[in-house]
Structure 1
Amino acid sequence: MSLELFHSQVMPIRPKLYRFAYRLLNNEQDAQDITQDAMLRVWNQQGRMAELQNLEAWCMRIVRNLALDRLKSKKYRNTELLDKADTMQASHQSNPHLAAEQQDVMDRVHRIIHALPEKYRTIIQLRDIDGFSYQEIADILELTMNEVKTNLHRARKAVREQLQNIQVYGLQ
C-alpha cells in the first residue's frame, strides 16, 4: 500500500475509530493512544488489505481489540463517568429548565448504557451512535447478523426498561 492509498482510504475513518475507542474507554487520552496504535497496525499489515472486503470493519475490529486489551489490563483506570463528547450545551436551549432536564435524561441514558455488559454497549455504540449496518457490526464483532440483531434488541430493551423504572418508580 502506498502512502497515498493509506491517506485516501484509512485516514478518513480515523475520527470514527477515535469515537469508537472513546466510547469503549471513556478517556480521551487512551482513545487517542488506541487510535494511533490501530493506525500503526493497519500500516504494518498493509499486505492483508488486498484480501479485505470491508476495510472499515477491519479497522474497527482492531480498535475494539486494542481497547478491550486496555480495559483488561490492571493499569487502566476509568477516570470519566459520563461521555463528555455528547453533552448538550445549555446555550443552545431557549429555556434553561428544559435544557437541564434534557441533560439529566441524557446523563441517565449514558449511565445506563455504560452499565450494560460490554457486548451490548458495543453494539449500541456501533449501531445507534456510529450508524453501522447490521452486516458491518457482524463483521467488526465477528458475530452472525442474527446475533447482532438479537443483542441489539436486548440492549435497547434493557435501556428502555431501566428508563421506565426511573420514570415510574424513581429507581436508579
Structure 2
Amino acid sequence: MSLEIFKNKVLPVKNKLYRFALGFIKNEDEAKDIVQEVFIKIWDKKEDLLAIENIEAWCMRVTRNLSLDKLKSKHKKYTDSLNEEFDKSDDKNQTPYRSTEISDTMSMINLFIESLPDKQRQIIKLRDIEGYSYKEISEMVGVDMNQVKVNLFRARKAIKENLLNINAYGLR
C-alpha cells in the first residue's frame, strides 16, 4: 500500500475509529492513542492490506481488539454516552418540556443499551449508531451474519420493551 492509498482509504475513517474506541474506553486521550496504534499497525502491515477486501471493517476490528485489550489491562467497565452521538433536536424551536423529554428518553435508552449483553451492545452500536451493514458488522465482531441479525433483533426488542414498560406508568 502506498502513502496515497493510505491517505485515501484509511485516514477518512479516523473519526469513526476514534468514536468507536471512545465508546469502549471513555477517555479521549486513550481513544486517540488507540487510533494512533491502529494506524501504526496498518502502516506496518501495508503490504498485506492489498489483499484485504474491506479495509474499513478491518480497521474497526483492530480498533475493537485494541480497545478491549486496553480495558482488560485496566479492568475498566464498558460505558457509553449516547448524548454525544445523537443529535437530539431537529427543531430549533422546541419547547423546554420537549427538549427535556427527549433528553430523558435518550438517557434511558443509553442505560438500556448498557444493560444489554456485550455482543448485543456492540452490534446495536455498530448498526444503529455507526451505520455499518450486517456484513461489515459480521466481519468486525467475528460472528455469522445471522447471529448479527439475531443479536440486533434481541437488543432492539429489549430496549423497546423497557421503554414501553417505563412509558406505561405502571399500568401494565
Query: Given the two structures, how large is their TM-score scaled by the length of structure 1?
Result: 0.88
- 8 Å Cα contact 1:93/1:99 also seen in 2: no
Q: Structure 1 residues 52, 88: closer, same or farther in 2, change over 3 A? A: closer
Amino acid at match of 2:28: E
CA distance in 2, matches of 1:33, 1:93: 39
Distance in 1 between residues matched to 2:86 and 2:139, nearest whole Å: 30
Which residue in the other structure is 1:107 paired with?
Answer: 107
Distance in 1 of aligned mates of 2:86 and 2:134:
27
The answer (yes or no) to whether the contact 2:23–2:80 under 8 Å persists in 1 is: no
Matched-pair contact (CA < 8 Å) for 1:23–1:83: no
Work out the CA distance in 1 between the residues paired with 2:157 and 2:25.
Answer: 23
Q: Relative to structure 1, is the Cα distance of residues 14 and 147 closer, same or farther in structure 2, using a 3 angstrom cutoff?
A: same
Residue 27 (str. 1) matches residue 27 (str. 2): yes
Taking the aligned partners of 1:158 and 1:138, their CA distance within structure 2 comes to 21
The question of whether the paired residues in 1 share the 8 Å contact of 2:85 and 2:129 is answered with no
Q: How many residues align?
A: 169
The 8 Å contact of residues 34 and 66 in structure 1, kept in 2 or not, is answered as yes
Q: Which amino acid aligns with 2:84?
A: A
How far is 1:96 from its partner?
0.8
Gaps of 5+ in 2: none
What is the deviation of 1:64? 0.5
Name the residue aligned to 1:129: 129
- Distance in 2 (CA, whole Å) between partners of 1:88 and 1:52 is 34
Which digits, 9 at most, give the CA deviation of each residue in 1:4-27, with x for residues without a partner? 211111000111111111222233
Are 2:137 and 2:148, in contact at CA under 8 Å, matched by a contact in 1?
A: yes
Identity of aligned residues (%): 43
Q: Does 2:138 align with 1:138?
A: yes
Q: CA RMSD in A?
A: 2.2
- Shift in CA distance, 51/88, structure 1 to aligned 2, threshold 3 Å: closer
Please tell me whether the aligned partners of residues 24 and 122 of structure 1 are also in contact (alpha carbons under 8 angstroms): no
Alignment deviations for residues 27-72 of structure 1 (CA, whole Å, 9 cap, x no partner): 3222222111111111111121011011111000000101111121
Equivalent position of 1:42 in the other structure:
42
Whether the 8 Å contact between 1:18 and 1:31 is mirrored in structure 2 is yes
